[in-house]
RNA sequence: GGGCGCUUAACUCAGCGGUAGAGUGCCACCUUCACACGGUGGAAGUCGCAGGUUCGAAUCCUGCAGCGCCCACCA
């Protein structure tokens, strides 16, 4: 076993190798089960939230992927059929923007290219650059099934998108109509409510005087003053509204106004919606450019005049302002009004301004024809899926639970979803417009062929809709579409062409619903909510494997949702390019190793709190990796030493919980108990998504128990010199290796690289499986033997004795290297423990000889626990004042404990109401403190002044 | 305007009804044959403030202060 390992662990040397190995060996592929195999073993299915093809990996991705990878590796090692499914999102706007920017650099544009050529260009871009983020993911060792990688514009997924659209249309849940939508003048497309982000903005409220007309249309000399934040929209005004009971304006009811600058005459209308308190109490009405005005216009049957084009420049309806950008127009309009004496005032006004989520351009509400989903029926199912049913069960459970409220609150107040986008990159809406009768033809469900003639008039002059669907429409379908919906339905309606490509239902039957969704709250509504709505809607039609009707609990896209927080910088600032505080995970990984960064994220991933990413923590976990590495070096070194005298270490017991018998040495029985309770804890912690606690548990075990105590004690047993006890050494080495190998398996989901490397080294290149990831996770729930339990108590006793002796040595100035004799005064049972483990104490506390005495010799500095008095025999007993100080401090502490205990124990209420074990515990504690106190007081008294 | 969360050691965070915890940092000593990315010991907190419930409160309730997030069509 050539284990010539370098002293310091260098992750770069091994990580690339294993990352590449895991992909090359296709280790985490989960093939479609054979038809009779689909119900064997509970699957663990998890969908990767598909990053944009344009994306680069950031800390949020890495957190998300670390959490998913820990859970997937853990479940896989538990024997679950684990499937983690990766893919990318075509990301309509983002990708189109990216390619358009490229075109601009080349001095051309998509318009010049034309639609078909542009689409081809985007595909070429995708083929060239699209895989970057997944390559980064591969480097991080994510244990996904690469053989199932999807792209949201793949043929199968496109079929699903079309089918979903067609079905919703047939069900009357998709409609097309002219409404006010959020319009991004830069992207030149409609966007949904969710894609608008509001920013507080210091603007102005312009007060404009509209001249009142008499019945003949002449100015009366009176003015009605309106207030607006967007004066340029006045070009499209069709009325001014006042509250019907507003006394200021009662005399104007029924009158008309002249629209300044445009010379049109517009009516004064009365509407309850108008707030008398805001502005002047008179609102200009521009139905084409404001959602409120639009609604008001509908109520009063007002026309609507769109004065802007799709780039937010004033169009030919804007009279003299035509051609101007909206803000240029605003300036000019204000100036012109002022010149005409129609500007009554300008007030500072802070209000929320909507920006395009993608490009931050100010959104312009715009009257246009779009496609919408009537969302109410879908929302109802989506609400039922999350609310507890009559028996208190939830089909979908959120962690942290509070997100259920957020989700339900949103879902209960949901608006129809605008799904059309005026882009060229995306799933084109499967609807055809007839040039003759102007009606819409949508293909039949279960067909893939495009319609050839208008379904209404039979005309062949039909053209497909040019709009594409919102990207989230296709990603919302992923949980069903990745498992073959709708082709799995194999419905009679399928035409001959698709019938051939009909795919097996085994994937859907086995893996749907998925087990878990891990994602950030930022896409709770965008994606999580849409998946629930669409998943519940479409999966409910798919019969269960046994042919029965699918219930809601089996229709949901996932059974659990774990929402994680945001990764911020060390100062809790949101990372952003503009602030320049973005930490590139790949850079950090290069510096500290993937395992250390993963462990940092895991150890800080406490549900519900943001992560302030602190590099100091990563440094600490790099040290942890180094610790693991050196423990391995130590073990391998001893294996070699053993081999030199012909002792071969037995590897046959590896891969399970270590085995041993009652006569095993104390440290062995103890570490086994610790190992088992660690496995138990980790299992509970991962079950409840406590990545932080699980990481701390394994850290504490490995460093605190295994390295600090077990390894140090085991050194006593490992003697491979000529006249050593070979049997004892061999047994010790065997246990050491077993415990270590088991610890590696515990660690593996958190730190896959270093554990893989060392695990392979243990087997000298001949491992029983291709990867540690394919071994079994140490099982919790293993019943401890009595002698394991007892070992815990004995070991604790020795540990506290050791710690006291070490502290004592420091205080009296014993050199680190010196070994000294000690005196111990204790009772018979504690004495027995020490006698039986004399060698342990001697080694760990650097003691040359242990003398049991009835009374510690006068003049020796001593330390006391409830069980022990211990003193070191050393001539340099010094610093009496410091010793007095220390004793006094200790006395004060113990006195406080006794005082606290007495206060409670003398309280009749406490004795009556507190549970027995609390009372007993307190009594015992008081007793020990009192005993210690007596000793300490005695010591203090005998110290010279 | 609604809703939610946070405030614990210098820093980053656990704990959420029974005597205050971790990691990092800090101080002192130690290059002992796995590891100085190490070892050993140590200092460090009136658990944001004020009330209340309880035998007992960082932990439950109420109010206040500060910080942050989400949702909402008020010109």
On whether the CB atoms of residues A64 and A519 are closer than 8 A, the answer is yes
The answer to whether the beta carbon of residue A620 comes closer than 7 angstroms to any atom of strand B is yes
Decide: helix, strand or coil at residue A829: helix
Q: Are A168 and A373 in contact (CB under 8 A)?
A: yes
Between A490 and A397, the higher pLDDT residue: A397
Between these two residues, A783 and A154, which has the higher pLDDT value?
A154
Q: Which residues are paired to A197 by β-bridges?
A: A355
Token code pair at residue A910: 């406490």
How far, in Å, is the CA of A624 from the C1' of nucleotide B34? 13
User: Protein footprint on strand B: which nucleotides are under 7 Å from a CB?
Assistant: 3-6, 11-15, 18-19, 22-25, 29-32, 34-43, 54-56, 69-75
A591 Cβ nearer than 7 Å to chain B strand: no
Name the burial class of residue A236, with classes exposed (0-12), middle (13-18) and buried (19+) by CB atoms within 10 angstroms of its CB.
buried
Confidence band, pLDDT 50/70/90 cuts, at residue A623? very high
Q: Is the CB of A774 under 7 A from strand B?
A: no
User: What mean pLDDT do residues A424-447 have?
Assistant: 91
Dihedral through CA A802, CA A803, CA A807, CA A812, nearest 10?
Answer: -10
Predicted pLDDT at A12: 87
Most confidently predicted of A21-35, A71-85, A276-290, A572-586 = A71-85
Distance from C-alpha of A845 to C-alpha of A802, rounded to nearest angstrom:
6
Strand B contact with A574 (CB < 7 A) = yes
Strand B proximal to A572 Cβ, under 7 A = yes
Contacting residues 207-236/A vs strand B (CB within 7 A): 227-230
The sign one gets for the Cα dihedral A852, A855, A861, A865 is positive
Q: In this predicted structure, which of A382-391, A513-522, A864-873 has the lowest mean pLDDT?
A: A864-873
Ordered DSSP codes for A531-569: HHHHHHHHHTTSPPTTSPPPPHHHHSSEEEEEEE--EE-
Q: How far is the CA of A807 from the C1' of B42 (A)?
A: 9
Least confident of A194-203, A569-578, A702-711, A892-901: A569-578
Cα A706 from Cα A837, distance rounded (Å) = 18
A865: three-class secondary structure by DSSP: coil
pLDDT band at A391 (very low <50, low <70, confident <90, very high): confident
Which three-class secondary structure string do you get for A237-286?
CCEEEECCCCHHHHHHCCCEEECCCCCCEEEEEECCCCCCCCCCCEEEEC
The terminus-to-terminus CA distance of chain A in angstroms comes to 63
User: What are residue A372's phi and psi, to 5 degrees?
Assistant: -130, 155
**C1' of nucleotide B23: residue with nearest CA:** A617
CA of A403 to C1' of B60 (A): 22
Beta bridge partners of A574: A568
d(CA A777, CA A679): 9
Name the nucleotide nearest A568; use CA and C1'. Answer: B12
Choose among A374, A247, A369, A240: nearest CA to A310.
Answer: A369
- List the beta bridge partners of residue A370: A177
Percent of chain A residues past pLDDT 90, beyond the cut:
38
Residue A283 approaches strand B within 7 Å at CB: yes
pLDDT tens digits, one per residue of A748-768: 999 999 999 999 999 988 899
* Segment A176-221, tens digit of pLDDT: 988 888 999 988 899 888 888 888 788 888 989 998 888 888 888 8
Inter-CA distances, A568 with A279, A389, A581, Å:
41, 37, 9
* pLDDT given at position A742: 94
A925 CB less than 7 Å from any atom of strand B:
yes
Higher pLDDT, A880 or A11: A11
pLDDT at position A3 is 55
Q: Is residue A859 left, alpha or beta, with left meaning phi > 0 and alpha meaning psi from -120 to 50?
A: left
Q: Which nucleotide across the nucleic acid strands is nearest to A292, CA versus C1'? A: B73
Specify the pLDDT at position A701.
Answer: 93
Q: Calculate the average pLDDT of chain A.
A: 87
3-state DSSP assignment of residue A34: coil
- A694-707 burial, b if ≥16 CB within 10 A, otherwise e? bbbbbbebbeebbb
Q: Is the pLDDT of residue A533 over 70?
A: yes
* Whole-number Å distance between alpha carbons of A663 and A667: 11
| Residue length of chain A | 945
β-sheet bridge partners, residue A89: A52
- Over residues A113-124, the pLDDT tens digits come to 999 999 999 999
Would you say the C-beta of A274 is within 7 Å of strand B? yes
| Residue in the structure block whose two tokens are 């510096």 | A591
Q: Which residue has the tokens 């059974």?
A: A559
Cα A215 from Cα A326, distance rounded (Å): 34
CA–CA distance, A874 with A892 (Å, rounded to integer): 27
Q: Is the pLDDT of residue A496 over 50?
A: no
Report the C-alpha gap between A599 and A702 in whole angstroms.
14
Contact yes or no for A11/A140 (Cβ under 8 A): no
Beta carbons of A40 and A511 less than 8 angstroms apart: no
Partners of A514 in the β-ladder: A558
Query: Is the shortest CB-to-strand distance from A708 to strand B under 7 Å?
Result: yes
Cα angle: A38, vertex A44, A47; to 5 degrees: 110
CA–CA dist A608, A692 (Å, integer):
12
- Interval A324-356: pLDDT, tens: 899 998 999 998 888 888 888 888 888 888 888
Q: Best-predicted range by mean pLDDT among A489-503, A731-745, A803-817? A: A731-745
Which tops the pLDDT comparison, A453 or A873?
A453
In the complex, which nucleotide's C1' lies nearest to the CA atom of residue A637?
B34
- Judge whether residue A606 contacts strand B, using its CB and a 7 Å cut-off: yes
Q: What is the pLDDT of residue A738?
A: 94
* CB neighbour list of residue A817: distance below 8 Å, 6 or more residues apart: A846
Rounded-to-5 percentages of helix, strand, coil across chain A: 45, 15, 35
What ranges make up the beta strands (E) of A641-705?
A: none
A277 touches strand B (CB under 7 A): yes
CA dihedral A827, A832, A835, A836 (to 10 degrees): -160
Predicted confidence (pLDDT) at residue A498 exceeds the cutoff of 50: no
Q: What is the torsional sign of CA A489, A492, A495, A497? A: positive
CB A682 within 8 A of CB A781: no
Question: Is a pLDDT exceeding 80 seen at residue A636?
Answer: yes
More confident residue, A580 or A173: A173
In this model, does residue A776 exceed pLDDT 70? yes
pLDDT at A403 over 70: yes
How far apart CA A303 and CA A317 sit, in angstroms, is 13
| Coil, strand or helix at A826 | strand
Q: How confident is residue A495, by pLDDT bands cut at 50, 70 and 90?
A: very low
Q: Measure the CA–CA gap between A65 and A175, rounded to whole angstroms.
A: 38
Question: Which helix (H) or strand (E) covers residue A197, if one does?
Answer: strand A196-213
Q: What is the pTM of this model?
A: 0.91
Distance between CA A289 and CA A277 in Å, rounded?
23
Place of tokens 């920013």: A199
The pairing of strands A432-434 and A462-464 is: antiparallel
Name the residue closest to B28, CA to C1': A810
HSE-up of residue A110 (Cα within 13 Å, Cβ side): 20
CA dist., res. A866 & res. A729, Å (int):
35
Which of A709, A698, A712 minimizes the C-alpha distance to A624?
Answer: A698
Residue A396 (CA) to nucleotide B68 (C1'), in angstroms, measures: 28
Q: What is the pLDDT of residues A849-902, one digit of tens each?
A: 899 988 888 777 788 877 788 888 776 555 667 777 777 777 877 888 888 888
* Nearest by Cα to A556 from A387, A390, A402, A391: A387
Indicate yes or no: strand B within 7 A of the C-beta of A375. no
Is nucleic acid strand B under 7 Å from A463's C-beta?
no
* Distance of C1' in B63 from CA in A148, Å: 56
pLDDT at site A628: 95
Q: What 3-state DSSP class applies to A780?
A: coil
Does at least one atom of strand B sit less than 7 Å from the CB of A623? yes
**Contact indicator for A395, A559 with CB cutoff of 8 Å:** yes
Angle (CA) A35-A39-A40 rounded to 5° is 105
């Amino acid at each position: 076993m050539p284990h010539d390992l370098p002293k310091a662990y260098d992750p770069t040397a091994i990580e690339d190798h294993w990352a590449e190995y895991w992909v090359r060996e296709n280790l985490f592929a989960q093939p479609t089960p054979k038809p009779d195999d689909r119900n064997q073993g509970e699957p663990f299915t998890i969908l990767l939230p598909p990053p944009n093809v344009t994306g680069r990996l950031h800390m949020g991705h890495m957190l998300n992927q670390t959490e998913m990878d820990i859970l997937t590796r853990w479940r896989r090692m538990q024997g679950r059929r684990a499937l983690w499914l990766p893919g990318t999102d075509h990301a309509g706007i983002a990708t189109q923007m990216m390619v358009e920017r490229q075109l601009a650099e080349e001095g051309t544009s998509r318009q010049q290219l034309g639609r078909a050529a542009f689409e081809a260009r985007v595909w070429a871009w995708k083929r060239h650059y699209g895989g970057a983020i997944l390559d980064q993911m591969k480097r991080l060792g994510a244990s996904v099934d690469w053989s199932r990688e999807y792209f949201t514009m793949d043929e199968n997924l496109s079929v699903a998108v079309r089918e979903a659209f067609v079905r919703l249309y047939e069900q009357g849940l998709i409609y097309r109509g002219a409404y006010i939508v959020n319009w991004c003048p830069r992207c030149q497309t409609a966007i949904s409510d969710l894609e608008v982000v509001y920013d507080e903005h210091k603007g102005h409220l312009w007060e404009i005087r509209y001249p009142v007309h008499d019945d003949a249309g002449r100015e009366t000399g009176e003015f009605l003053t309106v207030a607006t934040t967007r004066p340029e929209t006045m070009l499209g005004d069709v009325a001014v509204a006042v509250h019907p009971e507003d006394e200021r304006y009662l005399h104007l009811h029924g009158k008309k106004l002249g629209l300044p600058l445009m010379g049109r005459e517009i009516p004064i209308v009365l509407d309850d919606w108008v707030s008398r308190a805001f502005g002047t109490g008179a609102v200009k009405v521009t139905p084409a450019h404001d959602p409120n005005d639009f609604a008001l216009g509908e109520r009063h049957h007002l026309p609507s005049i769109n004065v802007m084009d799709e780039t937010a420049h004033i169009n030919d309806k804007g009279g003299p302002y035509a051609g101007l950008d909206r803000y240029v127009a605003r300036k000019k309009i204000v100036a012109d009004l002022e010149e005409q004496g129609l500007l009554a005032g300008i007030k500072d006004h802070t209000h929320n301004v909507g920006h395009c989520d993608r490009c931050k351009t100010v959104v312009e509400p715009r009257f246009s024809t779009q496609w919408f989903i009537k969302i109410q029926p879908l929302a109802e199912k989506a609400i039922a899926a999350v609310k507890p049913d009559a028996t208190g069960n939830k089909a979908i459970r959120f962690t942290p639970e509070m997100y259920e409220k957020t989700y339900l609150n949103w879902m209960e107040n949901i608006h129809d979803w605008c799904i059309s986008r005026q882009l060229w990159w995306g799933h084109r809406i499967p609807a055809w417009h007839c040039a003759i009768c102007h009606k819409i033809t949508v293909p039949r469900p279960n067909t893939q062929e495009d319609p050839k003639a208008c379904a209404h008039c039979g005309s062949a002059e039909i053209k497909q809709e040019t709009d594409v669907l919102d990207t989230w429409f296709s990603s919302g379908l992923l949980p069903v579409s990745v498992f073959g919906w709708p082709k799995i339905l194999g419905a009679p309606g399928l035409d001959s062409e698709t019938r051939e490509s009909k795919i097996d239902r085994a994937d859907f039957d086995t893996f749907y619903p998925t087990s878990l969704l891990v994602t950030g709250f930022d896409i709770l509504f965008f994606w999580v909510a849409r998946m629930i709505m669409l998943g519940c809607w479409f999966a409910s039609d798919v019969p269960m494997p046994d042919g029965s009707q699918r219930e809601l609990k089996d229709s949901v896209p996932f059974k659990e949702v774990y929402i994680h927080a945001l990764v911020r910088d060390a100062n809790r600032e949101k990372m952003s390019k503009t602030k320049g505080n973005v930490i590139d995970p790949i850079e950090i990984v290069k510096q500290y190793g993937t395992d250390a960064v993963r462990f940092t994220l895991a150890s800080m991933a406490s549900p519900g709190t943001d992560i302030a990413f602190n590099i100091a923590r990563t440094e600490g976990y790099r040290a942890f990796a180094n610790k693991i590495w050196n423990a391995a070096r130590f073990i391998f070194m001893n294996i070699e030493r053993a081999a030199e005298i012909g002792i071969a270490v037995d590897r046959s017991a590896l891969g399970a919980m270590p085995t041993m018998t009652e006569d095993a040495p104390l440290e062995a029985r103890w570490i086994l108990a610790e190992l088992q309770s660690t496995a138990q804890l980790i299992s509970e912690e991962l079950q409840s998504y406590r990545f932080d606690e699980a990481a701390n548990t394994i850290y504490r075990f490995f460093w605190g128990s295994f390295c600090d105590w077990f390894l140090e004690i085991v050194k006593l047993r490992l003697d491979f010199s000529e006249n050593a006890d070979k049997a004892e050494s061999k047994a010790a080495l065997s246990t050491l290796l077993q415990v270590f190998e088991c610890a590696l398996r515990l660690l593996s989901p958190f730190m896959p690289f270093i554990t893989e490397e060392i695990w392979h080294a243990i087997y000298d290149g001949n491992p029983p499986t291709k990867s540690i990831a394919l071994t079994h996770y140490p099982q919790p729930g293993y019943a401890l033997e009595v002698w394991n339990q007892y070992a815990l108590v004995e070991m604790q006793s020795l540990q506290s004795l050791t710690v006291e002796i070490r502290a004592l040595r420091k205080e009296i100035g014993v050199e680190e290297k010196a070994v000294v004799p000690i005196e111990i005064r204790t009772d018979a049972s504690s004495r027995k423990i020490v006698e039986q483990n004399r060698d342990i104490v001697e080694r760990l506390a650097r003691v040359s000889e242990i003398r049991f005495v009835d009374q510690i010799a006068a003049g020796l500095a001593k330390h006391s626990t409830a069980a022990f008095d211990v003193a070191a025999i050393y001539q340099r007993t010094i610093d009496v004042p410091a010793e007095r100080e220390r004793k006094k401090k200790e006395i004060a502490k113990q006195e406080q404990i006794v005082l606290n205990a007495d206060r409670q124990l003398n309280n009749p209420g406490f004795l009556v109401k507190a549970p027995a074990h609390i009372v007993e515990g307190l009594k015992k504690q008081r007793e020990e403190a009192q005993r210690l106190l007596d000793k300490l007081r005695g010591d203090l008294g005998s110290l010279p002044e």
